[in-house]
Amino acid sequence: MAGKTKVALVGIGKIALDQHVPAIAASPDWELAATVSRKGNVPGIPAFTDFAAFLAERPDVPVVSLCMPPVPRFDYAEAALLAGRHVMLEKPPGATLAEVHALEALARDRGLTLFATWHSRMAHAVAPARAWLKDATIKSAHITWREDVRKWHPGQDWVFEPGGMGVFDPGINALSILTEILPKPVHLTRARLEFPENRQTPIAAQLTFSGNVTADFDWRQEGPQTWDIAVTTDKGELALRMGGNVLEIDGKPVAGENTIMGEYPLLYTRMADLVAARQSDVDLSPMVHVADAMTLGERASTAAFHF
């Protein structure tokens, strides 16, 4: 894109402030031209509390980046597309698969860009891992994604409400990497989901896929956090650590960087390219695995959870 394109951030909360604002500020492609949020704002940036008012009053902003939780996101995305704006969706891209298909069709009909982002796919070592696995025979793979929900979602009750996806909110990041790096797709064959007795979504999940692929998601890990994917192949052992940011082959670091701060800048670079080409990028394969786990999984009740 020539020069900077105006973008509005909608839903100013943890991820908007932690990642989107700094990524836009450092980008040669984007200017943060407005925010829309009922309570949040970014100092120095024109702030709206109502999305319809923003769409009516700021026709000069062609792109919106939606950072609110998945359940309310569809209405904002649909309104934005109907108003002729290109749309970037935080992950997971929606509350249901069908609503994201509907947005994809609307964007296509209107010649607009829809980008369902997966920030973990932009982690430093994901592309090298994909390249290394391209000609490998996969014998087995295991995901360990264990983090502390109180640290990453402080007081965010929506993660435990219907549509909040529970531990799949971070787990879908692992699945976004898995679906990116494996040379052949896998499908879920079994799942066990642990629901706190006072909550609507799982706090832990153990998944089994075709091809000897397994996953262990848990939101109760205090202390050091674990975001690892280990793959056993005919070429040797691949390990992705730090959420896809560090690649080890046979126990030795070979690529990547131990920081998560490279992911969102690359998402905004990709969005700039998509808008320039009037293309969309909507891959729902990580969310299909979550939907399948919710459909097929056996359910166990576990201790009540309070923030």
Question: Catalytic amino acids?
Answer: 91
Which of 173/233 has CB closer to ligand NAP? 173
Asked whether position 194 contacts ligand NAP by CB under 6 A, the answer is: no
Cβ–Cβ < 8 Å for 11, 68: yes
- Give the pair of three-digit tokens for residue 232: 């056993």
Among 152, 254, 281, 305, binds ligand NAP (CB under 6 A): 152
* Candidates 11-19, 182-190, 272-280, 282-290; binding stretch for ligand NAP (CB under 6 A): 11-19
Asked whether position 147 contacts ligand NAP by CB under 6 A, the answer is: no
- Give the pair of three-digit tokens for residue 294: 């919710």
Residue 219 CB, nearest approach to ligand NAP (Å): 12
Among 5, 7, 27, 37, binds ligand NAP (CB under 6 A): 37
Among 7, 8, 9, 15, binds ligand NAP (CB under 6 A): 15
Residue 147 CB, nearest approach to ligand NAP (Å): 9
Among 67, 116, 188, 290, binds ligand NAP (CB under 6 A): 67
Which of 69/202 has CB closer to ligand NAP? 69
Map residues 93-122 to x or -, x wherever contact with ligand NAP holds by CB under 6 A.
--------------------------x---
Bond preceding residue 59 cis, omega within 30 of 0? no
Q: How many residues bind ligand NAP (CB under 6 A)?
A: 22
The string of DSSP letters for the chain reads: --SPEEEEEES-SHHIIIIIHHHHHT-SSEEEEEEE-SS---TTS-EES-HHHHHHH-TT--EEEE-S-HHHHHHHHHHHHHTT-EEEEPSS--SSHHHHHHHHHHHHHHT--EEE--GGGGSTTHHHHHHHHTTPPEEEEEEEEE-BHHHHSTT-GGGGSTTS-TTHHHHHHHHHHHHHH-SS---EEEEEEEEETT-SS-SEEEEEETTTEEEEEESB--SS-EEEEEEEETTEEEEEETTTTEEEETTEEEEE-S-STTHHHHHHHHHHHHHHHT--B---HHHHHHHHHHHH-EEEEE-----
Among 29, 104, 147, 169, binds ligand NAP (CB under 6 A): 169
Residue 63 CB, nearest approach to ligand NAP (Å): 17
Partners of 190 in the β-ladder: 208
CA 285 from centroid of its chain's CA atoms? 12
Asked whether position 12 contacts ligand NAP by CB under 6 A, the answer is: yes
* Candidates 38-46, 94-102, 218-226, 271-279; binding stretch for ligand NAP (CB under 6 A): 38-46
Residue 38 CB, nearest approach to ligand NAP (Å): 3
- Return residues touching ligand NAP (CB under 6 A): 11-16, 37-40, 67-70, 72, 90-91, 119, 152-153, 156, 169
